[in-house]
Amino acid sequence: MEIIYVYTRKRSEFGRPCNFSDWPAKVTADIPPDPSLASGFVLRSPVDSYVQHTSDMSEHEVNTERVEVESRGVNHVEGGWPKDINPQEVEQTIRFRKKVEKDENYINTVTHLGALMEHCVKQNNAINIYEEYFGEEEMAEVEDEPPSAKTINVIRDPNVSKRTATRLSWHPDTSKKLAVAYSSLEFQQNVKDMSFDSYIWDLENPNKPELVLKPSSPLVSLEYNPKDSHVLLGGCYNGQMAYWDTRKGGLPVEVSSVEVSHRDPVYGAVWLQSKTGTECFSASTDGQVLWWDTRKLSEPTEALVLDITRKGLLENALGAVTLEFEPTMPTKFMVGTEQGIVIACNRKAKTPPEKITSTYSGHHGPVYALGRNPFCPKVFLTVGDWTARIWSEETKESSIMWTKYHLSYLTDGCWSTVRPAVFFTTRSDGTLDVWDFLFKQNNPSLSLKVCDEPLSSLRLQDNGCVVGCGSKLGTVTLLEISSGLCSLQRNEKTLATAMFERETKREKILEARHREMRLKERARSEGQETEERPEESPLEVLERVRREFFEVIEAELQRKARAETQHPPSAFQVEDGAGEEAAAPGAESQLPKDGEEEEEDAA
């Protein structure tokens, strides 16, 4: 049924504005109910009805465009020099300067620029914008702060089969990059498809490595060149040496041949302080120390067999686990061995036996870490078995300080680069210990559980505030140390040096005493061998000891009896057991009688 309602209007009213008014309700159509349709419906019982009373929500998503960050750098070297002159060579630069300074243009240019420079210098001298006005207050706050550390980054091995992070090396110029060497050091535990790759990580983008290093064998050691940050030196598991230039990609520039390389994994690879910046040396558990020049890795330039008997026999050599070199002492280096002995060497000695100068024995197992104190180079730290020990070059027989024996094995350690009294150690239970022996000697100032697996490697940034810890599963954890542990305290150098000297002096005295006791014991044993003394039976020994004991008791009783019979002296002195008196002037009445003197003589 259609409902139609017709609205009519006069043509003259078309276009006029509507004029609405109120009208009462009016029924225009009515549909009456039809009872006959009821039979077409089915009664539903029970009847469920749902009512949802919630506000309508709308979801919107927006994807912003990803910003891709690309690192760009500029290599800046000392400019103004001709290509044929090396700025590092002092003689060449001095000769060139003298030649230039004689030129008239040079004098006119310097005169012109001098006025401009003088104006800038006067501006800088007017006020020091970097002056610290409240340094003492900041130092007081640092001293009150308890030792702490917080995790700032975690870098994981991207491979499925996890490998140990055996070595860490910070970028020498910017501390934003970290080179990590990965390899599995467990004997015959390498998985078939285990990766050989090691990585350089950019800490600002730690999701993927900045560069993948692809050696021929897994890297055990890896080190940045301090003079050229693009060059890295690596020691492989199969004993080969290789070096990379990051500008040329991930493949090594040159690799040493197997015939002239080490026979065991290269656990130590260190750059030397040289004019060219290409000299380095390496140590391995095959008992050799080899010197290399990266410009020619076909053969080592020099070799040393670590035979402490000084016979130069490779079968008697001690296996090297760690290598130490201090640039301020260019001819000396130290080697930590598997047998727990530290070997001090001098490269410039005339003969190979003379190159091994001294040995330090104090650990029950391999020496996993070895490093000189950056403020006191004569003092060095060793980490092995369950302890960390501090040694002085002057005491060979024993260390001057050492930590307690831990329940778990110690795996690595290093000195703080900014505080002479602070050093770090890692343990096989995943704990990082920070020791400050000016504050506490028995226990570490800070112990931090870094991970559940054993920690394998440790490296501190040059600023001393960030420490990297590598684990057995290839996880590198970066921790920021609290300012109290990485800020030089007042008089700390003086106090630390005084403590080192005091402990060194104490050990020297003990060494001399032990040496004297050993000589006496040796002389006594030799005298017993020459003299044939009749052996005493146990009963004779007991009787002799009893007789000597009663003689001592009898002598003591007689001495006490004499002291009681004498009057207390006033103006003279009596020595115990001697029977001698010293009479003072005017004290004749105080002297003992003749009978007492006779008794004393008889006694």
Report residue 339 as tokens.
């047998």
Radius of gyration of the chain (CA): 44
Of the listed ranges 12-26, 186-200, 262-276, 549-563, the one predicted with least confidence:
186-200
pTM of the prediction?
A: 0.62
Q: Check if the beta carbon of residue 89 is closer than 8 Å to that of residue 275.
A: yes
Amino acid type, 391: W
The Cα–Cα gap between 144 and 248 comes to 50
pLDDT digits (tens, 9 = 90+) for 245-254: 888 888 888 8
DSSP conformational letter for 515:
H
Q: How confident is the model at residue 551 (pLDDT cuts 50, 70, 90)?
A: very high
pLDDT digits (tens, 9 = 90+) for 55-96: 878 888 888 888 888 888 877 666 677 777 877 788 888 888
Average pLDDT over residues 117-145: 72
Average pLDDT over residues 28-46: 85
The Cα–Cα gap between 178 and 460 comes to 11
**Exposed/middle/buried for residue 453 (C-beta within 10 Å: 0-12, 13-18, 19+):** middle
Does residue 404 sit in helix, strand or coil?
coil
How far CA 30 is from CA of 27, 125, 240, 363, in Å, comes to 7, 103, 104, 110
- Specify the pLDDT at position 582: 39
- HSE-CB at 172 with a 13 A cutoff on CA atoms is 11
Helices marked H in 532-587 — which ranges?
Answer: 538-565
pLDDT digits (tens, 9 = 90+) for 176-226: 888 999 888 776 566 667 788 888 888 888 888 888 888 888 889 998 888
DSSP state letters, 130-153: T--S-HHHHHHHHHHSPP-EEEEE
What value does the mean pLDDT of the chain take? 81
Average pLDDT over residues 252-268: 87
Is residue 570 over pLDDT 70?
Answer: no
Q: Check if the beta carbon of residue 266 is closer than 8 Å to that of residue 258.
A: no
DSSP conformational letter for 105:
H
Does residue 117 sit in helix, strand or coil?
helix
Q: How confident is the model at residue 509 (pLDDT cuts 50, 70, 90)?
A: confident
* Bridge partners for 281 per DSSP: 270, 291
Range 242-272 burial, b when 16+ CB lie within 10 A, else e: bbbbbeeebebeebbeeebbbebbbbbbbbb
Q: What is the dihedral of CA 406, 408, 412, 414, to 10 degrees?
A: -30
Give the contacts of 217 (CB within 8 A, at least 6 positions apart). 196, 236, 237, 238, 240
Average pLDDT over residues 221-236: 87
The Cα–Cα gap between 377 and 394 comes to 12
- Specify the pLDDT at position 424: 92
The Cα–Cα gap between 401 and 388 comes to 9
- Specify the pLDDT at position 571: 41
Q: Check if the beta carbon of residue 431 is closer than 8 Å to that of residue 448.
A: yes
The Cα–Cα gap between 220 and 161 comes to 17
More confidently predicted of 555 and 45: 555
Domain residues of the chain, as ranges? 149-507
Name the strand (E) or helix (H) holding 387: strand 387-392
Length of the chain: 603
**CATH number of the structural domain 149-507:** 2.130.10.10
- Specify the pLDDT at position 566: 77
Name the strand (E) or helix (H) holding 332: strand 332-337
Is residue 600 over pLDDT 50?
Answer: no
Q: Is the dihedral of CA 31, 35, 39, 45 positive or negative?
A: positive
Q: What are phi and psi of 285, to 5 degrees?
A: -75, 0
The Cα–Cα gap between 541 and 143 comes to 64
Is residue 143 over pLDDT 70?
Answer: no
Closest CA to 232 of 207, 257, 206, 251: 251
- Specify the pLDDT at position 531: 54
- Specify the pLDDT at position 597: 42
Amino acid type, 467: V
Is residue 377 over pLDDT 50?
Answer: yes
Average pLDDT over residues 36-49: 83
- Specify the pLDDT at position 135: 64
Name the strand (E) or helix (H) holding 291: strand 288-293
- Specify the pLDDT at position 578: 41
Is residue 483 over pLDDT 80?
Answer: yes
CA angle 163, 165, 170 (to 5 degrees): 150
Amino acid type, 167: R
- Specify the pLDDT at position 528: 64
Ranked by mean pLDDT, the top range of 174-178, 293-297, 545-549 is: 545-549
- Specify the pLDDT at position 189: 60
Q: Check if the beta carbon of residue 210 is closer than 8 Å to that of residue 176.
A: no
Is residue 535 over pLDDT 60?
Answer: yes
Average pLDDT over residues 555-559: 90
Does residue 383 sit in helix, strand or coil?
strand
- Specify the pLDDT at position 273: 82
